[in-house]
């Protein structure tokens, strides 16, 4: 009996780490669904992955993560077109250069980097469970260190700067991973998050005038997006992912995040408020 086709969904797959994650998964034999905001860029990325991997099983699905309706639409399309889902890579992310609101009226960085993957993961959880063994890999960052959140004021302006907002969103990624991992114990679905390294993508170009200028200065000395995808690909393909369940990973090793990221009471408050904000 033939092995069932393995299906992976990678968000933020138009460029950078997401593009190379999609490429690595296509080379590893997955059917890869690539999600991204801009349809034209996503189609170019799809062609790149197909050409470089030799795979004909690469699908673009446009979705703007600044809109929860678009996230719901993406989940509906995935569920309608695939009867299984073996891997979800929550990779999409941004650093907003100025304070902006999402289509739903939430602070944009938290909306795209946390609320969108929170909603998407929850909408796909049942399909992941029925496809077990399955995996959820979320791209966090060392930028979470020193960040603090108040779940009750999660999506407002607060003490806003581009890098503070980004750090808070990455703290949310780790807290979310720990909370969803607890809910998945014994299900055969493994959830882990990671720091990809400081990667020369476009994400920092718009991090405000001073930080963005600094980013562009150091970018030539940073690791490549291809190297940045390595930890996501490791967690997606390692033969025994069980030791990484609920963990924060750097390279191929479990790392200690900031103590705030280990606060399970905070994680549950964040889960409850995120559920309310996304309308679950």
166 among known catalytic residues: yes
Question: In angstroms, rounded to a whole number, what is the distance separating the alpha carbons of residues 240 and 176?
Answer: 22
CB atoms within 10 A of CB 214: 13
Question: In angstroms, rounded to a whole number, what is the distance separating the alpha carbons of residues 254 and 248?
Answer: 6
Residues sharing a CB contact under 8 Å with residue 258, sequence separation 6 or more, in sequence order: 144, 145, 146, 147, 171
Question: In angstroms, rounded to a whole number, what is the distance separating the alpha carbons of residues 12 and 113?
Answer: 10
Question: In angstroms, rounded to a whole number, what is the distance separating the alpha carbons of residues 246 and 240?
Answer: 14
- Point out the catalytic residue in the list 20, 106, 166, 248: 166
Residues sharing a CB contact under 8 Å with residue 278, sequence separation 6 or more, in sequence order: 68, 115, 118, 119, 122
Q: Which residues are catalytic?
A: 166
């Amino acid at each position: 009996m033939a092995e069932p086709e393995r299906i992976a969904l990678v968000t933020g797959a138009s460029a950078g780490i997401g593009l190379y994650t999609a490429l690595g998964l296509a080379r590893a034999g997955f059917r890869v669904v690539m999600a991204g905001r801009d349809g034209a860029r996503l189609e170019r990325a799809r062609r790149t992955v197909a050409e470089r991997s030799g795979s004909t099983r690469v699908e673009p699905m446009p979705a703007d993560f600044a809109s929860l309706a678009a996230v719901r639409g993406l989940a509906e399309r995935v569920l309608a077109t695939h009867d299984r889902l073996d891997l979800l890579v929550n990779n999409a992310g941004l650093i907003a250069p100025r304070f902006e609101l999402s289509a739903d009226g939430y602070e944009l960085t938290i909306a795209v980097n946390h609320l969108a993957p929170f909603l998407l993961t929850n909408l796909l959880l049942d399909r992941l469970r029925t496809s077990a063994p399955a995996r959820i890999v979320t791209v966090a960052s060392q930028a979470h260190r020193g960040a603090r959140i108040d779940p009750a004021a999660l999506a407002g302006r607060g003490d806003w700067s581009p890098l503070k907002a980004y750090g808070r969103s990455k703290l949310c990624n780790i807290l979310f991973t720990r909370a969803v991992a607890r809910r998945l114990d014994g299900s055969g679905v493994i959830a882990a998050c990671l720091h990809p390294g400081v990667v020369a993508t476009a994400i920092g170009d718009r991090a405000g005038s001073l930080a963005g200028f600094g980013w562009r200065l150091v970018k030539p000395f940073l690791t490549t997006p291809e190297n940045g995808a390595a930890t996501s690909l490791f967690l997606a393909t390692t033969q025994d992912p069980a030791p990484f369940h609920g963990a924060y990973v750097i390279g191929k090793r479990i790392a200690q995040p900031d103590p705030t990221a280990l606060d399970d009471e905070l994680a549950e408050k964040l889960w409850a408020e995120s559920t309310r904000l996304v309308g679950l």
